[in-house]
Amino acid sequence: MASSLTKDSVRPETPGTDKTFFGHPRGLATLFMTEMWERFSYYGMKALLTVYLLSGGPGAGKGSMGGGLAMDVATTTVIVSVYSAMVYLLAMPGGWLGDRVWGPRKTVAIAAVTIMCGHLVLALPGGQAPFFAGLALVAAGSGLLKANISTMVGHLYNGPDDPRRDGGFTIFYMGINMGAFFAPLVIGTVGQKVNWHLGFGLAAVGMGIGLASFLLGTRHLNPVSNVVPKPLSSEERTSWLRKGLGWLLAAVVFYGVVGGTGHFTMNWAMIPLTIIGLVIPAGVLLRIKRDKELSSLEQSKMTGYIWFFVAAAVFWMIYDQGASTVQAFGEGKASNMMFGFDFPSSWYQSVNALFIMALAPVFAFVWVWLNRKGKEPSTIVKFSMGLVLIGVSFFFFLIPLGMAANGTAVSPMWLVGIYFIQTVGELCLSPVGLSVTTKMAPAKYASQMMGVWFLAVTAGDSITSLLSNPAIADVDLGGTGAVLGEAILAALAGFAVWMYRRKVKSLMGDVN
């Protein structure tokens, strides 16, 4: 199939290619396939995550297959949120390893092997031990891969002014969503209807195909992706090794003491990770903001950027509950039947990717059309719209929550509606956030700021984990009161951003 998508090159000077992929460097096909299969494995596993944790417990759906970890909804939400937070948190050290130790290409290969091994460990029966070990490997591998594969896409083009560059990233983005769409339909069905561990095994197969695609296609990549941009000196290697071993020893001692004194519980084990997910984003922003080498304009832009960062954290706090709180509701309180066809609740995780693929081109067209008329909303207004819409999605969530209060199984279309509103909000906020991050980044931190943007997801998911952890707050995030509170919070945050838009704009300098 790949050969049918290629044609003679219109830009023969592109490094390492004499054919193109939809008019783009042939290496884009390699990275497209790698990312598509990696996302297939990642979202397939994630689609099973909530339902597997609930299986056999009070939150499982009627007639659902047993054999899971039988956890309650609160603990399940904590685990899913911490897992997602760690994936995005580890994107920063993953990018650092690519820049300083292995180079992007080798880092992606190591990441793919790590992810595949994680899914294989998840496929092993044996309860919680292999499950959490596999989850940790998948999170570490995803963090390694996330920043480095995007870097290699950029290497395929002749600098930032290459007119094909934006289109290349758009095609790459479609690969992400294709993998995300098909994964729950395949892996979710096998995992929920046949065998949980066979489903996790299929995720390993998907990542294996992605790894093979990457290794076979590396000759089409730019040789620059095999270079370590700024290698560590021997002294730096020794220093970082000591720091890493020190933190590892501290973690072993901490969990050893907690376990040895009989105080170890799953929820208490999640608390240090939750705290890390909040402290590190705050610390990174503070470190950049306090850097005396930044110009006054860069300082002003960073102050303005903090507004966007906090707004994004509120957005992701609610949005990512689509895979935990909303998914748990779909598993236990929705009929999961349409037109007489019974489907696994894991299929809900395909809805967002489907809407992204359908609506992203529409939004791109609308923004350009409005821009030509001089009516395109500013970055601040788009952020405000995204926040209000994520709040509206939870106001909408209140309707099926009320309907299910008496035990009625609600129509799955209510969940489809929630995911639709959230996707529209995502398209208002997420691409704009990526863009404004690159525009407002201080020159000294130009490469690191994309990792800073990912930390907004980490902070949002960590707040969700903190609120739902029975060992700390024990808030029922799937309850009417909590859903209403979060909806109001997001709406107020969106309104606040809009109200202070002039102040924020003054801090942004020449960025619109």
DSSP 22-40: TTEETHHHHHHHHHHHHHH
Neighbours of 403 (CB within 10 A): 14
Tell me, yes or no, whether 413 and 490 share the same domain: yes
Tell me, yes or no, whether 389 and 475 share the same domain: yes
Residues in the chain predicted with pLDDT less than 50, given as ranges, are: 1-17
Tell me, yes or no, whether 243 and 198 share the same domain: no
Tell me, yes or no, whether 9 and 48 share the same domain: yes
What tokens does 137 get? 């490997």
Q: Which residues contact 438 (CB under 8 A, 6 or more apart)?
A: 446, 449, 450
What confidence score (pLDDT) does residue 4 get? Answer: 34
Nearest by Cα to 420 from 503, 504, 356, 363: 356
Residue 364 maps to which CATH number?
Answer: 1.20.1250.20
The total of structural domains in the chain comes to: 3
Phi, psi of 334 (to 5 degrees): -110, 155
What pLDDT digit, counting tens, does each position of 40-99 carry?
999 999 999 999 999 988 888 777 788 889 999 989 999 999 999 999 999 888 888 888
Tell me, yes or no, whether 210 and 302 share the same domain: no
Pairing verdict, β 341-342 and 337-338: antiparallel
What confidence score (pLDDT) does residue 401 get? Answer: 95
The answer to whether 19 and 10 are in contact (CB under 8 A) is no
Out of 264, 279, 310, a domain closes at 264
Tell me, yes or no, whether 119 and 151 share the same domain: yes
Residue written as token pair 């093979």: 212
Tell me, yes or no, whether 257 and 333 share the same domain: no
- How far is residue 39's CA from residue 222's CA, in Å, rounded to a whole number? 23
Nearest by Cα to 49 from 170, 188, 157, 154: 188
- How far is residue 82's CA from residue 85's CA, in Å, rounded to a whole number? 5
Tell me, yes or no, whether 24 and 157 share the same domain: yes
Cβ-defined contacts of 363-372 (< 8 Å, 24+): 363/427, 363/428
- How far is residue 335's CA from residue 408's CA, in Å, rounded to a whole number? 9
Residue written as token pair 């008329």: 373
The answer to whether 418 and 393 are in contact (CB under 8 A) is yes
- Torsion of Cα atoms, 289 then 291 then 443 then 445, to 10°: -70
Tell me, yes or no, whether 111 and 167 share the same domain: yes
- How far is residue 38's CA from residue 34's CA, in Å, rounded to a whole number? 6
Nearest by Cα to 415 from 479, 333, 320, 477: 333
Residue 255 CA: distances (Å) to CA of 252, 259, 264, 389, 469: 5, 6, 8, 41, 18
What confidence score (pLDDT) does residue 166 get? Answer: 67
**Where are the extended beta strands (E) located within 39-138?**
none
What tokens does 299 get? 């300082």
Please list the residues that pair with 471 across neighbouring strands.
none
Out of 231, 256, 288, a domain closes at 231
In a 13 Å sphere around the CA of 84, the CA atoms on its Cβ side amount to 30
Out of 181, 207, 231, a domain closes at 231
Residue written as token pair 């594969």: 149
- How far is residue 430's CA from residue 420's CA, in Å, rounded to a whole number? 15
What confidence score (pLDDT) does residue 164 get? Answer: 79
Specify the pTM: 0.88
Three-class secondary structure assignment of 228-253: CCCCCCHHHHHHHHHHHHHHHHHHHH
What tokens does 272 get? 């240090």
Residue written as token pair 């951003």: 497
Domain that residue 258 falls in = 237-264
Residue 266 CA: distances (Å) to CA of 61, 80, 259, 386: 23, 13, 11, 34
- How far is residue 195's CA from residue 394's CA, in Å, rounded to a whole number? 33
Cβ-defined contacts of 153-156 (< 8 Å, 24+): 153/28, 153/31, 155/104, 155/221, 155/222, 155/224, 155/225, 156/14, 156/15, 156/24, 156/25, 156/27, 156/28, 156/31, 156/221, 156/222
What confidence score (pLDDT) does residue 407 get? Answer: 85
The answer to whether 436 and 449 are in contact (CB under 8 A) is no
Amino acid at 135: L
Tell me, yes or no, whether 290 and 423 share the same domain: yes
Nearest by Cα to 418 from 328, 357, 338, 497: 328
Tell me, yes or no, whether 287 and 411 share the same domain: yes
Phi, psi of 347 (to 5 degrees): -65, -20
What pLDDT digit, counting tens, does each position of 389-423 carry?
999 999 999 999 999 988 889 999 999 999 999 99
What confidence score (pLDDT) does residue 9 get? Answer: 35
Nearest by Cα to 18 from 155, 4, 26, 157: 26
Tell me, yes or no, whether 339 and 404 share the same domain: yes
What confidence score (pLDDT) does residue 268 get? Answer: 78
The answer to whether 43 and 215 are in contact (CB under 8 A) is no
CB burial readout 15-33, b (16+ within 10 A) else e: bbbebbbeebbbbbbbbbb
Q: Which residues contact 88 (CB under 8 A, 6 or more apart)?
A: 143, 146, 454, 455, 457, 458, 461
What tokens does 75 get? 């603990």
